[in-house]
Amino acid sequence: MAKITETMRKQSQPLWESSFNHPFIKQLSAGSLPQQTFRYYLKQDRYYLQNFADLHGKIADQMDDPDIKRFLYDGAKGFNDSEKEVRIEFFKELNITQQEIDQTEIAPNAYSYVTHMYHELNEGTPARAAAALLPCYWLYNEIGKRLIEAGSPIKVYQQFIETYDSKAFTNATARMIEIVDKLGEEADAQEQEKMQTAFLRSSFFELHFWEMAYRHEMW
Ligand SMILES: Cc1ncc(CN)c(N)n1
């Protein structure tokens, strides 16, 4: 029988393909993405990543397996990937101040994505919530791998690509895939379907995150 993550990846292929081909991604690699668009993305993503980390901790609280618990608690502290430090650098490099962060209103798609992940945990199960977190690792890792050869002529965009192609991020992605597969094996057919839906919806919000940034989405 196919692993649950194989099924998830297949089901989400059209959404992922649209992410790979989104103008945000194409222009990031070409170096033509306006800096204002990347700044917008970073400010919204800061909100996303904070909640993403918090969710790792909340899911870990409900897990029994000590290895899974440890991985998720590390994720809550931002230790599972190389994203944390590089984001601090980006904010400095692009002169995004605390005042600017404080004045940033959370855009509809960032809000909806975070709300979706909390919904999967609070109204669902930790397994569904873990499935909802997975595209965040896996899609970005695939984007990093696709873009690394061409790279980007703009320093921060190049660093962005390298972060998601990095060994640390690739390892964290592989571990998260294993975790979701294990949770999938322990789930019954109905729960597996709900996990797949959670993954698919996150894939939808991932695609719309690029679009949100590209269009500087507002309420
Ligand atoms: C919305 C989103 N999704 C995924 C990632 C990669 N951790 C991110 N930084 N932001």
- Give me ligand 1 centre to Cα 66, in Å: 25
Q: Which of 209, 210, 211, 217 to mutate to test the pocket of ligand 1 (most atoms within 8 A of CB)?
A: 209
Which listed residue (136, 149, 178, 185) is catalytic?
136
At 82, is the pLDDT very low, low, confident or very high (cuts 50, 70, 90)? confident
Whether residue 133 has its Cβ less than 6 Å from ligand 1: no
Q: pLDDT per residue over 3-27, tens digit each?
A: 999 999 999 999 999 999 999 999 9
Helices marked H in the chain — which ranges?
4-11, 13-20, 23-30, 35-61, 66-76, 83-93, 98-102, 108-119, 126-147, 155-165, 167-186, 189-214
**Which residues have C-beta within 8 Å of that of residue 127, sequence separation ≥ 6?**
180, 183, 184, 186, 187, 191, 195
**pLDDT mean across residues, the chain:** 96
Residue (of 63, 41, 44) closest to 52 by Cα position: 44
- Give me ligand 1 centre to Cα 53, in Å: 11
Q: Which of 48, 133, 171 to mutate to test the pocket of ligand 1 (most atoms within 8 A of CB)?
A: 48
d(CA 53, CA 73): 9
Start-to-end Cα distance in the chain? 44
- The reported pLDDT for the residue numbered 77 is 86
In CATH, the architecture of 4-214 is Up-down Bundle (1.20)
| ipTM for the complex shown | 0.99
Whether residue 40 has its Cβ less than 6 Å from ligand 1: no
CA of 136, closest atom in ligand 1: 4
Tell me what percent of the residues of the chain surpass a pLDDT of 70: 99
Q: Is the pLDDT of residue 80 over 80?
A: no
